[in-house]
Every structure is written in structure tokens, then in C-alpha cells.
Amino acid sequence: MYKKEICHFVIFFFNIVSLRLTAKWQALYLTRNDPYRYTRTINFMEEKVIDEKRQGESLVLEQKLEQKNGNQRKLFIESYGCQMNFSDSEIVASILAEQGYNTTENLEEADLVLINTCSIRDKAEQTVRKRLEKYNAVKKINPKMKVGVLGCMAERLKRKFLEEEKIVDMVVGPDAYKDLPNLLKEVEEGRDAVNVILSKDETYGDISPVRLGGHGVTAFVSITRGCDNMCTFCVVPFTRGRERSRDPKSIINEVNDLVEKGYKEITLLGQNVDSYLWYGGGLKKDYKNASEIQRATATNFAQLLEMTAEAQPGMRIRFSTSNPQDMTEDVLHSMAKYGNICNYIHLPAQSGSTRILKEMNRQYTREEYFELIDRVRKIIPDCAISQDIITGFSTETEADHLDTLSLMNYVKYDFGFMFMYSERPGTPAARKLDDDVPAEIKKRRLIEIVDLQRVHSAYRTQQFVGKTLEVLIEKESHKSNEQWSGRTQHNTVAVFNKEHFKVGDFVMVKIEDCTSASLIGEAIDYSENN
């Protein structure tokens, strides 16, 4: 026993030293089922390379059974950016299944090519542009093929894509997917088609999404759309509109349906899930005009969580993203009360400096963030926490950067997603502040926070060694076809020998070793949840 502990300590120490050395010139993989489905590959020379495995992967219907018999036309759909976009692509595929389209992985045979776009950073936009060039090359061989741009780039670049560059046939914003059948008719009749109108009440609650590109174990369930936060760096309120919540009944119906199809874990999705508020429909900002009866019967996020946990006690429940300013103690108590709500919170800090937080229009100070972390640890002592941090935001000084490092040292996040600030046209920051931190300094600061996160991640995974944890098997490990890969409640990846277990099983795994990104163990038995 004593020997084993020394051995673990040596491995841990070696990991940290070797990681700190390699971080400077090797790509770092900080993924732990990334909330934005990127593998954060942070390179010395560039901020982040989107993982080609998931970003822009052609999405096909998850279960072959979902391909509709009799559908003759072929849809090739790719998705970039956050989970919300992947979830939206499922809605689009559902709508188009009714219009005679089944999905294909083969671009060359597609009748319709759709790219669901992201505007969050400049790099994401550049990637989409490259893909559009590729589609247009294929279109020369297959002139019948139509190309459409969906999602966050639609509003800002519609004229450029359709009229100036003429590289697409159709542009559809995130609230206009139900208009796709009409827009397709326009395109078939030889006209360009565009609808980028943002809605006050569209939540797609009445669409039962097909599932694209997964393993039939985990699924996203969208609960809010849009965002009212107006963080000065962020383009989301302009591309996705104002915040509105989805009817809890339709959410529970979707969750029940997923259970019937064999799914074992859901993630409730929204830009700011803690702000969820259903009062009969409409924008969150109009709640102030709600009637007494609407107020009395309203459902908030803590209540929605409890309803979901009770409706399906065997289903693991996660949620993303939480904004510190809106996370209530009720939500923490709900998490503590229900064993099937995972002990994991993605809690973006963005910066550790109160002055920068103010410039970002985040509605909390460094001290308030610490208080929230203390509350989380008190109510759910065993809770994993991850972060988003932006380096080099306008006016960020060395002292502000040190504040971010010290905030990280206080929390010791389990993992994190780190970005260099990328000024986005039309945002309040772009209008009012100078993007005045030189690229080299942004990069150096990013490397420092990535290095520190790596140390904290290694510290956190080490805490699990020797414990026996429940793991939900998701897929074969990419390193060995003799091992399964799954995740613990804390959202930590665990790999172990397959034995007689299968994808979708909840298994108790004795953790024997770790890296900073994953746990390595031995399956002992099925968990009670199975």
C-alpha cells in the first residue's frame, strides 16, 4: 500500500514536470467532454485549433433507424461552435427529414449542403469560410447541389455571402429553421433565399429532434435560447437574440422520449441556464409585465432541474452553461438533493480581476465569485468545477493577469477552456474599447493560464486515484480497441478494459492511475443505477 502511494506520487510529480516542459511547444489537449465540443488544442503559435474530429464533422443520423424510409434526397450537414449549434443541427435535420432528406457523410453525393456556423471568435469564422470554398469546388462537379449557411454568421454576413461573393444559395438564422421548407422552394425555383429574423418566442419546443453523430448514450436538450447578459466581448445576443425559455412540459417530454430510446445522460443546454424562467412563453425581459397568475405558476431553473431529476431518476442530468451572476443557492440544493444530477458545474470566470470583469459587464466581482465557489463547496463538497477564461481583454494589465492566475489557484478548477480575446464586430467592446493588448502578450498569458490549469487538472484527477467511481460507458477508447471510455459524474474521462460490459452501461470502476486529463481503472461491477 505504502509502495503504491509512493509510486503514485512519483508518477504525479513526473506528469507535472513533463507537462510543464512540453506545454511550451506541444499541443495541449484539455478536453473533458468539452462544453463547446472543441478539443482545446492550444498551440504555442495559435490560440486554439478546432478539433477536426468534432468541429465540422459531417453529422449523420445517430441510429440508422432514424433514417426515414422513402426519403430520396441527401443532406450533408456540418456544425461548428458550441453545443447549442450541434443541438440546432438536430432540429434542422428533423425538419428536413419531413421534406424528404436523409443525412449523408459523403459531400459529393449531397443534394443539399448546410453549414451551421459560429461567430464567437474570428478563427471560427475563418474555418467556415474555408469550408464554403471547398463546397463550391464540389458544386462545380455537381451543379445541382445547393449550399446553405445556418446559425450565428447568418445575420452579419448574409449580403456578403449571397450578393457579393455568391458562394451560397441560402442563409438561415438560428430562429428561422421552421421556414426551411419555404426557403428550399425559393432555392429550387432559382432564387436566393434568406431569413435571419430573430424571434421573441421561438424555442423549437414542438420539434422532436433526431439525434446526430453520437453513440446513443448522451444527448443535449435545449432549454433556453438567446442571451440577455450583454457581456461586452460577446456576439451571442446579436446573433441569437434575446433570452427566452422553453415550456418545461416539452422539455420533460423530450427527456422521456430519450429514455425510451435508450439514452442514459442528458445535458440541459442554454447560454445561461440558471436564468431559465418559464411563465407561459415570451422574452425573459418581459417577465416584469407578467400577470399574477403567470408569476404564481412560473418555473425557474432549480424547479426545472428537480422536475427532470424526478421524471427520470435513472437518467444522469448535466447542465451548461452557468453564469455566476445567476446561479442561485436553490440550484445547488437541488443538485445536492438528487443523486442523478451530476456533481459538476461549468462556471466561466472570464477573468480574475474585478476591474476587467466590470469592463466585460460581468455582473460579479472577484470576491463574489469566491463566495459562490465557497457556497458550492459547502453545499456540494464533492463538486467538480470547470472554467472559461479570456486572456488579453481590452486594457488587461499584468496585474489583472496575475489576479486571474490567483483566482485559478483559489479554485483549482478540474479543467477549463481558455481563449485569447478576439474582438467581434458590433459588440459593445468593439464599439467602446481598444483591442490594445498585443497578440504576443495575449499568447504568453494564455500559455501561462493553460500551464497552470494543467497543474490543477493533474491535482484534481490525482484525488480520484484509489477511489471507486461510477462511469457511464460512451464509446471505445481512441487509444485501444480493448478498452471502453466513459465519464464519471464529475465529467472526468475514465478508461478501462472492456470485459463483458457494453456501451450505455453504468459501471463501478476502481481508479488505479491518472493523467491530467483522464482516469485509468478497472471495472468491478455494474452500478446500482444500471
Nearest-approach distance from CB 364 to ligand SAM, in angstroms: 12
Q: 89 vs 272, which CB is nearer to ligand SAM?
A: 272
Residue type, 486: G
Q: 257 vs 368, which CB is nearer to ligand SAM?
A: 368
In angstroms, what CA-CA distances link 524 with 6, 65, 67, 213, 511? 24, 33, 37, 30, 10
**Residues in contact with ligand SAM, shown as a per-residue x/- string from 374 to 393 under the rule CB under 6 A:** --------------x-x---
Nearest-approach distance from CB 345 to ligand SAM, in angstroms: 12
**Cβ proximity of 205 and 221 under 8 Å:** no
CA-to-CA distance for 419 and 341, rounded, in angstroms?
A: 29
| Options 343, 350, 353, 453; binder of ligand SAM; rule CB under 6 A | 350
Q: 372 vs 509, which CB is nearer to ligand SAM?
A: 372
Nearest-approach distance from CB 43 to ligand SAM, in angstroms: 16
**Residues in contact with ligand SAM, shown as a per-residue x/- string from 403 to 442 under the rule CB under 6 A:** ----------------x-xx-x------------------
What lies within 8 Å, CB to CB, of 389 at 6+ separation is 348, 349, 350, 351, 404, 408, 416, 417, 418, 419, 449
| Options 15, 203, 239, 321; binder of ligand SAM; rule CB under 6 A | 321
Q: 220 vs 233, which CB is nearer to ligand SAM?
A: 233
Give the single-character DSSP code of 164: I
Residue type, 429: A
CA-to-CA distance for 237 and 323, rounded, in angstroms?
A: 15
Residue 187 found at the interface with ligand SAM (CB under 6 A)? no
| Options 23, 30, 59, 82; binder of ligand SAM; rule CB under 6 A | 82
**Cβ proximity of 244 and 225 under 8 Å:** yes
CA-to-CA distance for 507 and 389, rounded, in angstroms?
A: 33
CA-to-CA distance for 44 and 383, rounded, in angstroms?
A: 32
- Strand 384-391 relative to strand 415-420, pairing: parallel
Nearest-approach distance from CB 99 to ligand SAM, in angstroms: 29
Nearest-approach distance from CB 423 to ligand SAM, in angstroms: 7
Residue 348 found at the interface with ligand SAM (CB under 6 A)? yes
| Options 30, 75, 113, 120; binder of ligand SAM; rule CB under 6 A | 120
**Residues in contact with ligand SAM, shown as a per-residue x/- string from 274 to 313 under the rule CB under 6 A:** ----------------------------------------
Q: 82 vs 380, which CB is nearer to ligand SAM?
A: 82
**Residues in contact with ligand SAM, shown as a per-residue x/- string from 212 to 251 under the rule CB under 6 A:** ---------------x---x-xx-x---------------
**Cβ proximity of 529 and 315 under 8 Å:** no
**Cβ proximity of 506 and 359 under 8 Å:** no
| Options 239, 272, 275, 343; binder of ligand SAM; rule CB under 6 A | 272
Residue 323 found at the interface with ligand SAM (CB under 6 A)? yes
Q: Give backbone dihedrals phi and psi of 284, rounded to 5 degrees, phi first.
A: -60, -35
Q: 309 vs 389, which CB is nearer to ligand SAM?
A: 389
Exposure of 164 by Cβ count < 10 A (0-12 exposed, 13-18 middle, 19+ buried)?
Answer: exposed
Nearest-approach distance from CB 231 to ligand SAM, in angstroms: 6
DSSP 363-402: S--HHHHHHHHHHHHHH-TT-EEEEEEEES-TT--HHHHH
**Cβ proximity of 436 and 5 under 8 Å:** no
Q: Name the site residues for ligand SAM (rule: CB under 6 A).
A: 82, 120-121, 227, 231, 233-234, 236, 271-272, 321, 323, 348, 350, 388, 390, 419, 421-422, 424
